[in-house]
Amino acid sequence: MKKIYCDISATTPVNEQVIDLMTSIHKSTFGNPSSVHKYGQESHIVIEKARIETAQALNCHQEEIIFTASGTEANNIALEGLVESDDHIISSTYEHPSIMNVIKNLEQKGAKLTLLKPNQNGQVEPKKIEKEISKNTRLITVMFANNELGSINNIKKIAEITQKHNIILHVDAVQCVGKIPIDLEEMKIDMMSLSAHKFYGPKGVGALFVRKGIDLKTILNGGGQELNLRPGTENIAGIAGLGLALSMAANHLKENMLYVKKLEQLFIKEINNYKINYVLHIKDRLPGVLAIGFPGIDGQSLLISLDLKGIAVSFGSACSSGTTKASQILLDAGITEDLAKSTLRISFGKIHTEEDIKYVAKELSIILKRLEKKSYA
């Protein structure tokens, strides 16, 4: 059976060059980076090389990059390390759990929290953010692009607002880094989180950009590594893998974007040819990310049917007590409950061929016809 992975937004396979580099490091560069002897210094050099690669890809200073174990950890370090009990936080209702759970925890500790719903384009409107700013607003944290919808926020405009009011802006860019251009110097973002496994790097390693002049308190206690913000012996091979994967993504960004958009257009053309009834929710979105609803079809049944044909996609909702619940993120974006229940996230990447796309569209059409007959029976 043919197997096609169309869930690039969830995670990506690791580049072969990255695997080779990490394997080599595991074999030969095993010293503790904090040790003063040659073995330790060799490991330290590997980490600093990755820091330079990361900084160059994002256009920031290397000392502003903190390596972490994940995007989730980066989000926790940024938010927990900044906010005090009397601060005001502005965020959105469709943030990742690693943001939402942290800011709700901070609210329980005394911080004031304002959550804004996205508009029908799946974006948090900058003017609504500015309207909610008060004298105690310390932090605005907004994701660069939503993980279910693929919708992209106007981060540059939001940054202009935070600069104007002297408020710190944190951006969860896990879905965007390596997929669209990000220039930290131009965008004036204060803190930004990323994760290697989203851009063909290894799992278990991420990074946090912290602009010079921003002081974060330590939330993890240990040996003082990574400017005392992420103590613990560093994941040398993982960090090296992140640096190389991001460097490769940055060097081939334009061509990868064009290629993925071409695949996306081909998919739309194919499903139109098969006369599939669908609703594409967001127009201004990340390349290759489709939040697509199939009216009258149970999304979970569709996902399982595709999986049985070797096609992996994502379902933007959760299953609880045997009943399918519509994703709150989709509902907040103005999508009806029935359509939200029929919505899948299909995401393409550089690993796919045109033949893959045609196969997915063909099998999708066959499955939909079967499910439609079943629903009418």
Per-residue pLDDT of 203-217, as tens digits, reads: 999 999 999 999 999
Beta strands in 152-190 (DSSP E): 168-172
Q: What is the DSSP string of 240-261?
A: HHHHHHHHHHHHTHHHHHHHHH
The sign of the CA dihedral 296, 301, 307, 312 is positive
200 in helix, strand or coil? coil
Side-chain half-sphere CA neighbours of 64 within 13 A: 21
pLDDT for 329 beyond 80? yes
Burial 130-153 (b: 16+ CB within 10 A, else e): beebeeebbbbbbbbbbbbbbbbb
Distances (CA, A) of 77 to 149, 152, 215, 231, 356: 26, 24, 11, 11, 40
* 37, 31 contact by CB (below 8 A): yes
Q: Where are the beta strands (DSSP E) in 212-336?
A: 279-280, 289-293, 311-312, 314-315, 318-320, 323-325
- Does 318 score more than 80 pLDDT? no
Count the Cβ atoms, other than its own, within 10 Å of residue 6. 25
The pLDDT tens digits for 228-270 are 899 999 999 999 999 999 999 999 999 999 999 999 999 999 9
C-alpha to C-alpha distances, 309 to 35, 127, 296, nearest whole angstrom: 51, 46, 21
Confidence of residue 5 (pLDDT cuts 50, 70, 90): very high
pLDDT (tens digit per residue) in 360-373: 999 999 999 999 87
Over 80: is that where the pLDDT of 324 sits? no
Structural domains in the chain?
A: 16-251 (3.40.640.10), 253-376 (3.90.1150.10)
Which of 280, 366, 346 lies closest to 8, judged by CA?
346
Enumerate residues 6+ apart whose C-beta is below 8 A from 234: 33, 43, 47, 67, 225, 226
Which residue reads 């334009």 in tokens? 254
Question: What is the per-residue pLDDT for 377?
Answer: 52
Q: Indicate whether 218 pLDDT > 50.
A: yes
Averaged pLDDT score across all residues of the chain:
94
Annotated catalytic residue 319:
yes
pLDDT band for position 323 (cuts 50, 70, 90)? very low
* pLDDT tens readout for residues 16-73: 999 999 999 999 999 999 999 999 999 999 999 999 999 999 999 999 999 999 999 9
Look up residue 59 and give its amino acid.
Answer: N
- The model scores a pTM over 0.75: yes
- Which among 6, 60, 176, 319 is annotated as catalytic? 319
